[in-house]
Amino acid sequence: MKKITSLLMLVFLMTFSVLFTNAQVNTSESKDTSSENVDSSKTTTTPAEEIQEEVISEVTTEEAEEESGIQVLKKKFIEGGAGFMSLPLICLILGLAIAIERIISLFWMSINNDKFILEIEQEVAEGNIEAAKELCRNTRGPVASIFYQGLDRSDQGSIDVVEKSVVSYGSVQMGQLERGLVWLSLFIALAPMLGFMGTVIGMIDAFDAIKAAGDISPSVVADGISVALLTTVAGLIVAIILQIFYNFITSKIDGIVNGMEDASISLVDILVKNKVVKA
């Protein structure tokens, strides 16, 4: 799973670099196009041609206004400043890589507990403890691992030993299920903080511009306030996205843990019922 996480991070970083490069190219192309339009407007034209050019320019303006969502994100990213906007974006990339890896792992660990318990019960009822342990080894997921530990201690003949083994190894499985969630929660808390830091720095730049110009006109403070607001929005959006993934992962873990607890009770009942251990 570490390879999957590294691969996802690499893909996200490559995608970010391509989008950022395209945004810069589009910006330069738009500047070149605007300069060409200014040069062409200087040539003399007839009244009919002027009317035609006005219609074409209006259509072009309407098409330019209908920008796609990706183009708007590129534009806002550049307006907010690459230095400030890249920090929440890095949190988003790393957080999504961890979240996707955890989701894939949790779905891979999930099995049909009822079917697995029924197969184990059949093997134990026939006295094939080794066959039941082999079935646990060939089955993925924490439930199978807990069953293997309980069956491996069943030869000691005490239910207390089996229960202690199941509880102890259940804690180990819990730690494996929650692996990586600490970093995901860190990125959830860090993204808005970085956004607020950009907000504070943008407001400082705005006040410095006011001090240098000696004027409080909107044009003086527009750049600083724009950076402040965009970085705040970016940090909040990243935190919201990662929080949704975090809640989904924790709910999935809770479901697996509940299945582990129910399966542990079923294992003890199976061993007592078939007189493998003494109650």
| Per-residue pLDDT in tens (0 to 9) along the chain, 279 residues | 455 555 555 555 555 554 444 544 444 444 444 444 434 444 444 554 555 555 455 545 544 445 566 676 666 666 666 667 788 889 999 999 999 999 999 999 888 889 999 999 898 888 888 899 999 999 988 999 999 988 888 887 778 888 888 888 888 888 888 888 999 999 999 999 988 887 787 777 777 777 777 766 666 666 667 777 788 888 899 999 999 999 999 999 999 999 998 988 888 888 888 877 776
Instruction: Pull the structure tokens for residue 149.
Output: 């530990």
How does DSSP classify residue 157?
-
Burial of 28 (0-12, 13-18, 19+ CB in 10 A): exposed
Instruction: Pull the structure tokens for residue 34.
Output: 């605007």
CA–CA gap between residue 77 and residue 19 (Å, rounded): 10
Strands (E), the chain: none
Instruction: Pull the structure tokens for residue 137.
Output: 């080894």
Half-sphere exposure of 194 (CA within 13 A, CB side): 22
Instruction: Pull the structure tokens for residue 156.
Output: 């000691």
CA–CA distances in Å: residue 187 to residues 8, 194, 237, 238: 16, 10, 12, 9
Pair 270, 123: CB distance under 8 Å: no
Helix (H, G, I), strand (E, B) or coil at 217: coil
Element (H, E) at 24: helix 2-41
Instruction: Pull the structure tokens for residue 211.
Output: 């001090």
Pair 246, 185: CB distance under 8 Å: yes
pTM: 0.70
Packing angle, helices 113-125 and 142-152, rounded to 10? 20
